[in-house]
């Protein structure tokens, strides 16, 4: 299975991707996580660190390079779930070319839909355990007392608002691109995490 998750900041892409990848034994490939890892190691150029913390997108060639290298690894051969990539039509075209060159194709693009007020609450109150990468929420999924919590630099209210605007501009072209290819499935991302997982799995299984 080769699956893409698209959705605004805080929609639950990372939460759902982790659950589904665990169940299916395929890697979750998140460009956001890869970029944050590079930042933590000090290997992400400073101009990109600043771009990310202000909520802007990093250049297409950077994320395409990350995806090309990561999807070549052995664990991605049986399939993968791309979380947060592609985000622009040029990224989607580059992904098509990459897969075609390997005789592969996407099975489905899942667009998680959540209204704006809920997105703000989800993103601003999100905390991540630095040691395990586990995603928590101060209201909906409180962390254990021993968690080593991190508040993402781009999860401040004004930055989240900007990220939502960026997402809306970019999906104006990206969603029709995948809609025209017959790959797009819209999933309601509001409700209990397990219920959303059931909805996602239903559309992904139908695309198998
Ligand atoms: P990225 O890390 O991809 O961030 P994002 O797309 O903005 O998405 P988020 O991680 O904010 O949200 P999510 O949908 O994963 O939600 P989560 O599951 O955590 O990208 C960060 C930055 O990197 C970008 O701004 C850009 O700079 C750069 N970048 C990345 N990819 C790029 C690309 N392709 N091109 C260019 N630049 C790129 O959930 C959020 C919270 O809600 C959590 O606390 C969770 O516990 C809670 N929650 C989840 N589901 C539920 C539920 N059903 N009910 C209640 N709470 C829930």
How many C-beta neighbours within 10 Å does residue 50 have?
11
- The pLDDT confidence band at residue 183, using thresholds 50, 70 and 90, is very high
CA distances from 37 to 34, 73, 132 (A): 5, 18, 13
Evaluate: CB of 152 within 6 angstroms of ligand 1.
no
Q: Is the model's pLDDT at 208 over the cut of 80?
A: no
Longest dimension (CA), the chain: 48
pLDDT in tens, 26-84: 999 999 999 999 999 999 999 999 999 999 999 999 999 999 999 999 999 999 999 99
Looking at residues 170-180, what average pLDDT do you find? 95
Which of 18, 32, 151 is the best mutation target for the ligand 1 pocket, counting ligand atoms within 8 Å of the beta carbon and taking the most? 32
What pLDDT, on a 0 to 100 scale, did the predictor assign at position 156? 93
**φ and ψ at 76, to 5 degrees?**
-90, -5
Q: Which atom of ligand 1 is nearest to the CA of 125?
A: 44
Query: What is the C-alpha separation between 30 and 28, in angstroms, rounded?
Result: 6
Q: What is the pTM of this model?
A: 0.95
């Amino acid at each position: 299975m080769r699956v893409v998750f698209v959705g605004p900041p805080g929609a639950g892409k990372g939460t759902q991707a982790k659950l589904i990848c665990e169940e299916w034994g395929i890697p979750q490939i998140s460009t956001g996580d890869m970029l944050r890892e590079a930042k933590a190691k000090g290997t992400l150029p400073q101009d990109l660190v600043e771009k990310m913390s202000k909520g802007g997108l990093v250049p297409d060639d950077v994320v395409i390079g990350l995806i090309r290298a990561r999807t070549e690894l052995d664990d991605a051969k049986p399939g993968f779930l791309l979380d947060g990539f592609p985000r622009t039509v040029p990224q989607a075209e580059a992904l098509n070319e990459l897969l075609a060159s390997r005789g592969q194709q996407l099975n489905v693009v899942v667009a998680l839909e959540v209204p704006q007020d809920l997105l703000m609450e989800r993103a601003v109150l999100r905390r991540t355990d630095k040691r395990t990468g586990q995603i928590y929420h101060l209201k909906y999924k409180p962390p254990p007392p021993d968690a080593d919590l991190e508040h993402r630099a781009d999860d401040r209210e004004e930055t989240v608002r900007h990220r939502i605007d960026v997402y809306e501009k970019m999906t104006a072209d990206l969603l029709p691109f995948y809609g025209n290819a017959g790959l797009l499935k819209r999933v309601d991302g509001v409700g209990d995490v397990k219920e959303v997982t059931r909805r996602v799995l239903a559309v992904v299984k139908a695309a198998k």
